[in-house]
Amino acid sequence: MLELDEGLIVLASLAAERMGIPLPLFVNQALQEKLLRLMDLEQQRGAGVRKPEGDSEG
């Protein structure tokens, strides 16, 4: 649920920017950092599904 809220914040901010509503620089930077963290989490989850090489044989 938290990821959904953060995603909505990012989308709303991008929409505001597209409509010409300027956002303070620190808000843009914070949103970019949050988006990068979310992307990293998604990549880690995807990698976590696969077994590491060498551990696949039992």
* pLDDT tens track for 2-58: 667 777 777 887 888 888 887 776 677 777 788 788 878 888 888 765 555 555 554
Stated pTM of the model? 0.42
The full set of domain ranges for the chain reads 2-48
What was the pLDDT predicted at 51? 52
What was the pLDDT predicted at 8? 79
| In contact, 23 and 41? CB cutoff 8 Å | no
Chain CA centroid to CA 47, Å? 16
